[in-house]
């Protein structure tokens, strides 16, 4: 059995990529004009369902292009402690624990870059995680992205590559976004978590479980 979780607004409150952009600006590592202003447009496109993933990733990787893995990992560790831990969602923690106690495999699949998805997933106790592939060369971020692009139908492609022909059933999938309807419809047990308006309507019509969440305060 396999339990798949989206990341943003499903396991944490907020969009981790946008939160990281805000963090970089506060730390003086990027500017609002070059990072946050275009990010607001990208977020609006994401919610409409017509995000240009390549342009979005180019923008968000520009401030960290050329960084060494050591420098990047240190900054991300600080970001996670200060910005992500306070936003961990209670129901996500409970569902991860429930699946783990059942002996299910756990996987995070997110349209955020894997340079953020993987370390955040580890903090949440999930070792297997897939995000948009960012390219490293000689231990430095190039600012380019690779072939793995788990956004919309790309999440199904990413899952199939990860499974590598292994059959797993049932597959549970937890998500907040209508962008994830392709994989939600593919899952044996789709669950809407803090769903946006379009997903909420779809989940109601399809009779899917709907979970509402709150930030862990303890």
- Mind telling me the catalytic residues? 6, 8
Structure tokens at 161: 């590559």
Query: Which phi-psi region, left, alpha or beta, contains residue 49 (left: φ > 0; alpha: ψ -120 to 50)?
Result: left
Taking CB atoms within 8 Å and a gap of at least 24, the contacts of 207-212 are 208/184, 211/91, 211/95, 211/174, 212/91
Name every residue whose Cβ is closer than 8 Å to that of residue 24 and which is 6 or more positions away in sequence: 30, 35, 63, 64
As a 3-state breakdown, the chain gives helix, strand, coil percent values, each rounded to 5, of 50, 20, 30
Structure tokens that stand for 27 in this block: 């730390």
Report how far apart, in Å, the C-alpha atoms of 170 and of each of 1, 36, 189 are: 5, 40, 7
Calpha distance 25→9 (Å, rounded)? 22
91 C-beta neighbours (distance < 10 Å), count = 18
Q: Which two tokens stand for residue 22?
A: 């805000």
Please give the full DSSP string across 193-214, using - where no structure is assigned: ES--HHHHHHHHHHT-EEE---
């Amino acid at each position: 059995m396999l339990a798949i979780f989206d990341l943003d607004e499903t396991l944490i409150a907020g969009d981790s990529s946008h939160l990281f952009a805000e963090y970089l600006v506060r730390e003086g590592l990027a500017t609002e004009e070059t990072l946050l202003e275009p990010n607001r447009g990208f977020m609006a496109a994401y919610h409409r369902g017509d995000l240009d993933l390549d342009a979005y990733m180019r923008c968000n990787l520009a401030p960290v292009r050329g960084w060494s893995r050591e420098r990047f990992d240190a900054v991300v560790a600080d970001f996670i402690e200060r910005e992500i831990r306070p936003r961990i969602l209670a129901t996500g923690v409970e569902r991860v624990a429930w699946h783990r106690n059942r002996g299910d495999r756990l996987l995070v699949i997110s349209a955020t870059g894997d340079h953020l998805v993987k370390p955040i997933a580890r903090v949440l106790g999930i070792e297997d995680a897939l995000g948009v592939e960012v390219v490293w060369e000689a231990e430095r971020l190039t600012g380019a992205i690779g072939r793995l692009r788990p956004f919309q139908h790309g999440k199904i492609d990413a899952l199939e590559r990860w499974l590598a022909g292994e059959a797993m059933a049932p597959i549970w999938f937890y998500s907040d976004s209508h962008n994830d309807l392709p994989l939600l419809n593919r899952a044996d047990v789709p669950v809407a978590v803090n769903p946006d308006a379009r997903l909420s309507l779809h989940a109601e019509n399809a009779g899917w479980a709907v979970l509402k969440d709150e930030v862990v305060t303890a």
